[in-house]
Amino acid sequence: MGELLFETGEWNFDTLKRTYDAIEQIAVGEMGLDPYPNQIELISSEQMLDAYSSIGMPIFYHHWSFGKRFARDEAMYRKGYSGLAYEIVINSNPCISYIMEENTMTMQTLVMAHAAFGHNHFFKNNYLFKEQTDASGILDYLNFAKSYISRCEERHGIDAVERILDAGHALMDQGVNRYGRRARPSLAEEQSRLEARERHLQDSYNDLWRTLPTPRGKRGEAPAGDPGESARGAPHLPEENLLYFLEKFSPRLKSWERELLRIVRNVAQYFFPQRQTKVMNEGCATFVHYKIMTRLHELGKISDGAMLEFLASHTSVVFQPDFDDPRYSGLNPYALGFEMMCDIERVATNPTEEDRRYLPEIAGCGDALGALKTAWANYRDDSFIAQFLSPQLMRKMKLFKLENRAKESHYKIAAIHDERGYTEVRRALAAQYDPGARDPNIQVTAADLAGDRKLQLTHYLHNDVPLAEQEAKTVLGYVADLWGFGVELRGLGPDDVRRYSFELGAERKAAAPAPEPEPVAYGDHVF
């Protein structure tokens, strides 16, 4: 049996390193996890509050909203309403984990297992993170963003910068590309394509074409009633990435303002996978730390006391109050994630007949970690739940579906954890995590660039759920400000019937002196 890694709650750099090595031995050696190299940074509680306010990033540009967040978090913390996180982990390469000096050595062990191996493995292997984030470039990018924005503040004044950032932040949720795009062609490919095109033009040149009369512009023939027609000049409508659209096509923005929007958009995109994988990410990290701590204890490397301290903290993290409990505030992603990971392990190694029916791919496959790693790599929350939520877990958590229809005067229990309801509960829970259903579906559907330049946004209602009206109107004001001309937001039901429509005229902007014309980068699809 091994020697204890540490005897007391006190930590020092030696014990940290020794413990890290023991954890790594288990995580990489035994469990076969594949994390980025780790960098562990010790910070004080005050620095943790600082990190909180800039969404956990070590470098971030300055904005008043972070100051507001800091003021609120600090007040909550000082009054004891909320504790601080034990750690913050950053999806970067090397993976940076901040751990607090106040933690006991047991907590440091837990935190290292949780963040430096659990989250880290997930960041490196999940397809969303791989596709949409650039772990090795993010810190450099944020560094650039911070200095660029502070240069803009010096040159154009804080107010001018805040005007753009405020608007950008308001549209952050609509500033992401929801689907991976095909890889951009490299310079060489681009050049060879250009050459091929030119060769084709030369090969097929025929002087006869020159003599034909030029065809009438399509625009003139377009029916006047259709606003979509006139926007043909701006390519690729509808466009769901509002920030992208405004950055590229807004007629009034200056180039530095476009760059600010781009920064906000890139940050939004960087965090987008985290919003879609909360349950899995936390579940993965919690499962990993649970396995590692248990294994350390088995090997005699941590004492019974430390194990008890760990379990006390672990159980409070994965605690799920019932829906009628005053403490209930939604499903706890740690609880759901951890339960599902444990459940997958059970199904893989010790399945029941039922599991074989519901989860035939993994039931009894024997390789629990293999099954989990595949799941961590290839799913996001909604697909993961749709695929792996087992009847046994539904029974354990006593999940049920509550139907709340606008037309009805009563709630209805649509399905519970029984044979008739498993599929429906599973589907409903998955839908709850579907970003397509959670975020409103708002797209740029028309921009009359040749005419009065009115921008039309369309909200396609899902389940007839409207937007929060006051807020939507304020945000529309921001859009109008960025666009510089009139903006309309209309809500369409599934039957294409207009449910509502807000409109904001261009009067406010029209009064301002027209800025010098700035070339708009049409057709530039840099991302």
Partner 1 sequence: MGVNVIDRRLNPSGKSLPNRQRFIRLAKTAIKDAVVRSIRERALGDVESKEVVNIPMKRIAEPRLRHSSQGGDHDQVLPGNKEFVRGDTLPKPKSGEGGKGSKGSPDGEGEDDFSFTLSREEYLDVLFEELELPDLAKIRFKDAAVVKWHRAGHSPSGNPTNLNLIRTMRHSLARRICLGRPKPEALAALDGEIAELEALETRSAADQARLGERLQARRQLAAKARRVAYIDPVDLRYNRFEPRPEPTAQAVMFCLMDVSGSMTEDMKDLAKRFFLLLHLFLARQYERVEVVFIRHTSEAKEVDEQTFFNSRETGGTVVSSALAEMRRVIEARYPIQDWNIYAAQASDGDNYSSDSAKCRQLLSEEILPLCQYFAYVEVYDPRQAEIFMSSLNVSELWKDYAAAAEQRPNFAMKRVFNKSDVFPVFHQLFAKTRMAA
Q: Tell me how far apart the alpha carbons of residues 363 and 365 are, in angstroms, rounded to a whole number.
A: 6
Query: In terms of CB distance, is 147 or 255 closer to partner 1?
Result: 147
Query: In terms of CB distance, is 144 or 502 closer to partner 1?
Result: 502
Residues 91-110 that bind partner 1 (CB under 8 A): 94, 98, 101
Provide the mask over 365-404, with x wherever binding to partner 1 is found by CB under 8 A and - wherever it is not: --------------------------------xxxxxxxx
Query: In terms of CB distance, is 4 or 75 closer to partner 1?
Result: 75
Among 118, 273, 421, 484, binds partner 1 (CB under 8 A): 421
Q: Tell me how far apart the alpha carbons of residues 382 and 360 are, in angstroms, rounded to a whole number.
A: 19
Binding-site size, partner 1 (CB under 8 A): 99
Instruction: Return the HEC string of 216-236.
Output: CCHHHHCCCCCHHHHHHHCCC
Q: What's the closest the beta carbon of residue 462 comes to partner 1, in angstroms?
A: 8
Q: Is 124 in the site for partner 1 (CB under 8 A)?
A: no
Query: Using an 8 Å Cβ cutoff, are 283 and 384 in contact?
Result: no
Among 9, 299, 432, 502, binds partner 1 (CB under 8 A): 432
Residues 162-181 that bind partner 1 (CB under 8 A): 162, 169-174
Query: In terms of CB distance, is 291 or 401 closer to partner 1?
Result: 401
Q: Tell me how far apart the alpha carbons of residues 500 and 236 are, in angstroms, rounded to a whole number.
A: 25
Q: Is 501 in the site for partner 1 (CB under 8 A)?
A: no
Q: Is 30 in the site for partner 1 (CB under 8 A)?
A: no
Q: Is 37 in the site for partner 1 (CB under 8 A)?
A: yes
Q: Is 41 in the site for partner 1 (CB under 8 A)?
A: yes
Q: Which of 270, 276, 267 is nearest to 436 (CA)?
A: 276
Residues 59-88 that bind partner 1 (CB under 8 A): 62-68, 70-72, 75
Q: Tell me how far apart the alpha carbons of residues 510 and 200 are, in angstroms, rounded to a whole number.
A: 47
Q: Which helix (H) or strand (E) holds 504?
A: strand 498-504
Q: Tell me how far apart the alpha carbons of residues 370 and 360 are, in angstroms, rounded to a whole number.
A: 15
Any bridge partners for residue 87, and if so which? 99
Q: How far is CA 281 from CA 119, 123, 129, 262, in A?
A: 6, 8, 11, 27
Q: 316 exposed, middle or buried (CB, 10 Å; 0-12, 13-18, 19+)?
A: exposed
Query: Using an 8 Å Cβ cutoff, are 486 and 454 in contact?
Result: yes
Residue span binding partner 1 (CB under 8 A) among the ranges 210-218, 243-251, 341-349, 428-436? 428-436
Provide the mask over 464-483, with x wherever binding to partner 1 is found by CB under 8 A and - wherever it is not: xxxxxxxxx-xx--x-----
Among 3, 203, 324, 496, binds partner 1 (CB under 8 A): 324
